[in-house]
Amino acid sequence: MDPQSIGTALVEWFRVHHRTMPWRTNSTIYHRLVSEFMLQQTQVATVIPYFNRWIEKFPTLEALAMAPENDVAKAWEGLGYYARARNLHKTAQILVSQRRSFLGLWPQTISEWEKLPGVGHYTARALASIAQNQPIAVIDGNVIRVLCRLNAITQPFNSKDQALRFLDPLAQRYLPPDQSSAYNEAIMELGALICKPGTPLCGECPIANACLGYQNNLDLPHIPKFKKPTYVKKQIERIFLIQNDALLLHRASSKRLHRIYELPAHDIFPAGCLKEISFKQIGQIRRSIAKEHITEIIFEARDTTDNYLPENTTYIPLNQIHAITLSGPHRKWLNDCLKKHL
Ligand code: SF4
């Protein structure tokens, strides 16, 4: 089979076997834009309920552009990587202002898409090809796996970026004419459902006859090969401090958690400022972000000396905590913990 026939076989398989997803059912460019932002670093199953609530709240690009920043952050709460929400909001505002001046045109090229906040190499290609059917092959982790197995590529890669650069010219050869959108979704879907990480389901694969990895009986669960990433362990001490039925929270200024509330870190309090009388460990949160394994140890404090408050901290009444935007893991922990205080 030549590469384009393999691409066509994938499209035919996809038309019958694809999973239903809300951004596929109603596949406007706006729906695709929202889903591509949400799917960065996040699984489909997690994204679906967030996407449905988002579209109900912000049904159009214009509705999103006009929405207050706090509403946008709140709708994203729990999805993590909050810079995505901020960038999506800014992107909507830029597109709406441009559409007024440029007769409702969406970006027409990858480089126009890449000028928008939060639209990087992958997202620009996904939007141009999947949302606009431009002849561009998109490569994500699923596509890397399928292409490596299909072409019996066993060389190890140092990183995903290196694999992307290596596979880019090859990926382009599989695009069937005028079916870029369906092809890109098809090869990703094959990677998610059939050519899975671990043992692939080759008996159900529509391109098994053309697959060099399968035909040559290669060690498929170990293709592609990547050098193992090194994780760094990090520990953060957090403070849980309630005064007059209000909880002290810190509004983060980091790029990742921009303006999202979280329990304040111990190191933002000057030494000796926290009253140690009941300064005891009451909880622990573990999570992994990028290449960091993070453990957060939560200590309960009773008061600060002379009612001192570190910068960007504020007391939020306990009965209003549900209305603010909190970091997802802190919300989860607080939901359990505050039951005792409410
Ligand atoms: S035959 Fe197996 S290894 Fe090859 S593409 Fe299909 S599922 Fe993947």
| DSSP code per residue over 34-49 | HHHHHHTTS-HHHHHH
Distance CA 150, CA 211 (A): 4
Q: Which atom from ligand 1 is nearest to the alpha carbon of 211?
A: 4
Name the phi and psi angles at 64, rounded to 5: -65, -45
State whether the beta carbon of 6 lies less than 6 angstroms from ligand 1: no
Q: Which atom from ligand 1 is nearest to the alpha carbon of 223?
A: 3
Q: Which atom from ligand 1 is nearest to the alpha carbon of 202?
A: 2
Q: Which CATH number goes with the domain that contains 320?
A: 3.90.79.10
For helices 29-39 and 83-101, the axis angle rounded to 10 degrees is: 160
Q: What is the pLDDT of residue 339?
A: 75
Boundary-marking domain end, from 165, 200, 226: 226
**201 Cα–ligand 1 center, Å:** 7
Cis amide linkage into residue 224, ω under 30° from 0: yes
Q: Which CATH number goes with the domain that contains 28?
A: 1.10.340.30
**pTM to 2 decimal places:** 0.77
**145 Cα–ligand 1 center, Å:** 9
Do 53 and 111 belong together in one domain?
yes
Domain span at 197: 3-226
Boundary-marking domain end, from 179, 197, 226: 226
Least reliable range by pLDDT among 43-52, 54-63, 99-108, 112-121:
99-108
Q: Identify the three-state secondary structure at position 289.
A: strand
Q: Which atom from ligand 1 is nearest to the alpha carbon of 201?
A: 7
Do 300 and 191 belong together in one domain?
no
pLDDT in tens, 266-306: 999 888 888 765 567 888 999 888 788 999 999 988 888 87
State whether the beta carbon of 224 lies less than 6 angstroms from ligand 1: no
Asked if 293 contacts 231 with a C-beta cutoff of 8 angstroms, the reply is yes
Do 60 and 110 belong together in one domain?
yes
Asked if 167 contacts 215 with a C-beta cutoff of 8 angstroms, the reply is no
**142 Cα–ligand 1 center, Å:** 12
Distance CA 251, CA 313 (A): 6
Q: How many structural domains comprise the chain?
A: 2
Ligand 1 pocket mutation, candidates 146, 193, 212, 223, criterion most atoms within 8 A of CB: 146
Distance CA 331, CA 173 (A): 47
Do 217 and 239 belong together in one domain?
no
Tokens of 77: 């709460």
CA 233-234-237 angle, to 5 degrees, is 150
Q: Whose CA is nearest to atom 8 of ligand 1?
A: 195
State whether the beta carbon of 220 lies less than 6 angstroms from ligand 1: yes
CA torsion sign, 255 to 257 to 261 to 266? Answer: negative
Q: Is 112 tagged catalytic?
A: no
Q: Which of 36, 77, 185, 262 is catalytic?
A: 36
Do 25 and 162 belong together in one domain?
yes
Q: Which residue has the higher pLDDT, 100 or 299?
A: 299
Do 188 and 281 belong together in one domain?
no
Residue 341's pLDDT band (boundaries 50, 70, 90)? low
Q: What is the pLDDT of residue 235?
A: 93
Tokens of 226: 């990547």
Q: What is the pLDDT of residue 258?
A: 67
